[in-house]
Amino acid sequence: MESVNWLALVYGLVGGLGLFLYGMKMMSEGLQKSAGSSLRNILEKLTTNRVIGTFVGLVVTAVIQSSSATTVMVVGFVNAGLMNLVQALSVVLGANVGTTVTAQLIAFKIGKLALPAIGIGVFMRMFTSNKKYHYWGEVIIGFGLLFLGLKIMKDGFVPLRHSEFFQQAFITFSHHPVLAVAAGAVLTMVVQSSSATIGITVAMASTGLIDYYAACALVLGENIGTTITANLAAIGTNPTARRAAFGHFLINALGVCYMLFFLKFFMQAVDVLTPGDPNFVNASGNLPYIARHIANVHTGFNIVNLIIFVPVLHILARLCERMIPGKGNGRDDGLVFLDDCLIETPDFAVSQARKEVSRMSGLALEMLKLSRDAFFTRDTKTINKVYELENTVDLLEKDISTFLVRLNQEQISAETSRELNNILHVLHDLEKIGDYAENIVNYTEKLIESDIRFSDEAMQEMEEIYDVAIRFTDNVIKAYNAGGLPRAIDTEDENTIDKMRKQFKKHHLKRLQKGSCSVETGILFVDILNNLEKTGDQAFNIAQVVQGDM
């Protein structure tokens, strides 16, 4: 029995796994950057029924190469009320199938392309100016690192073939598949990537360290372990989101339970459909066909699971509701469309952030309209409503900004970064519009308390400038919320507001000189004019974002 160089073995396994994980991350992020903008609204718009939801989950996961990212997004959408539980579970089923694409890639004998891929990817990343080439360069680098890490891990496992301890340990897995399932689940929970643990399983099986049966049992366990990511992401979310995450675990756990009874028969069926003998050993002591068989068992299991559970998703949803009671809505922070779960998927997060800003813009515009009502009617209830909305707008501005700052620290594209900066600018402008509305109702309170009244001419002027300020703000907000490409927008109203402020101030000075208005009245009148003029300035800033000038 040859001695094992444990230091070299640990270096090889740790380094290989590190390269594999980093390659997976780089490939996934590159794919999200290059395809994310076209995938932004697919999950929420195309999940109207369980069959379409399943297909969407499969496609999105196959594109972004991360079932964890898809299921975490689903938890976020459910938490935001954009998906119901049955829709979420259908997407999860599709994601389970979509993630097996990685295992299928690993099974191809393309490890020799790892170094050329890294070279080509680095060239595209460093020596081209086109952003799309940069992103695809990252994808190709990730692809190369993934296979390089897999080769290093595979080579690292070779000495263990001569270790009696490991031979006995993995023979135990063959005789007790439940232990192999548990080991696969735990390993995936630790590594936080089912693709990585399947890569490890393929590496061990390809070197003959574990047999085909034990490898398949490990793969089943890895399907359970991968659900931990979504359940961790669901901590602190509402009950419906936690049910979606738990449903992911339940689907995979139940699938593994029934599959254990039929695993040998299922493996035989896969062997019939897959070329080559999985137990064939070549001259170098490796098993060249076993990787494809393991990948097909992984894919086949998730396809069978999908077929079995799609018709009974409503029953699974009710079971999740019973096991996790409570009302499915309600947020403590005021946010509706955003959730920390979305940080890992920047393009989807930006889409959701725009929706949150759209909601906030409606509140800011409502504050401006209510400030006019409060000024003309002197109604204290309307004044209090403005104060309530101001608290909500301030909270939204703080929470959305915090989220966007965190998002900006992720690996994002230049386009996404620009959009984040634009959203932050608009957030500030909307919050200031709310502040000016609050200032106006504060002045209105002073008018009521001191029983001060403006002249008919002053009231007419105030009505005119208010109409223009509200019209301009409304038009700009509608244009921004329409999204899409930069567009021309009529900003003449902003100039009109500036001219009105100057003209009406002069009129009021004349009234002061005539004695038809008091000094205190004049100060409050000018203060309100100034706040309306500043409101126009903030709306103009948003218009510049719409026009692409910022």
- Region of poorest pLDDT, from 28-32, 187-191, 359-363: 28-32
Last residue of one domain, picked from the residues 323, 349, 383 = 323
Residue 284 per-residue DSSP state: T
Residue 334 lies in a domain: no
Residue 117 per-residue DSSP state: H
Domain count, the chain: 2
147 pLDDT exceeds 70?
yes
SS3 of 140-175: the string is HHHHHHHHHHHHHHHHHHHHHHHCHHHHHHHHHHHH
Residues 378, 440 contacting (CB under 8 angstroms): no
Residue 537 lies in a domain: yes
My answer on whether 245 and 355 are in the same domain is: no
My answer on whether 289 and 419 are in the same domain is: no
Last residue of one domain, picked from the residues 323, 357, 384 = 323
Residue 336 lies in a domain: no
My answer on whether 292 and 392 are in the same domain is: no
Which pLDDT score is estimated for 419?
Answer: 86
Which pLDDT score is estimated for 435?
Answer: 94
Q: What is the extent of the structural domain holding 263? A: 6-323
Residue 330 lies in a domain: no
My answer on whether 284 and 394 are in the same domain is: no
Task: Tell me the chain's radius of gyration from C-alpha atoms.
Answer: 31
Give the model confidence (pLDDT) of 504-533 as tens digits: 888 878 877 776 666 677 788 889 999 999
Residue 142: Cβ within 10 Å count: 24
DSSP of 486-527: ------HHHHHHHHHHHHHHHHHHHHHHHTSS-HHHHHHHHH
Last residue of one domain, picked from the residues 323, 351, 366 = 323
Q: What is the CATH number for 453? A: 1.20.58.220
Q: How far is it, in rounded angstroms, from Cα 286 to Cα 280?
A: 8
Looking at residues 74-100, what average pLDDT do you find?
78
Residue 325 per-residue DSSP state: -
Residue 332 lies in a domain: no
My answer on whether 360 and 319 are in the same domain is: no
My answer on whether 441 and 490 are in the same domain is: yes
Helix then strand then coil, % of the chain, to nearest 5: 80, 0, 20
My answer on whether 269 and 374 are in the same domain is: no
Residue 428 lies in a domain: yes
Residue 299 lies in a domain: yes
My answer on whether 498 and 529 are in the same domain is: yes
My answer on whether 254 and 185 are in the same domain is: yes
Which pLDDT score is estimated for 332?
Answer: 45
Q: Give the confidence band of 23 by pLDDT, cuts at 50, 70, 90.
A: confident
Residue 507: Cβ within 10 Å count: 15
Give the model confidence (pLDDT) of 284-328 as tens digits: 777 888 989 999 999 999 999 999 998 888 898 889 888 887 654
Q: Give the confidence band of 438 by pLDDT, cuts at 50, 70, 90.
A: very high
My answer on whether 78 and 176 are in the same domain is: yes
Which pLDDT score is estimated for 329?
Answer: 46
Residue 169 lies in a domain: yes
Residue keyed to tokens 């104060």: 387
My answer on whether 159 and 255 are in the same domain is: yes
My answer on whether 415 and 446 are in the same domain is: yes
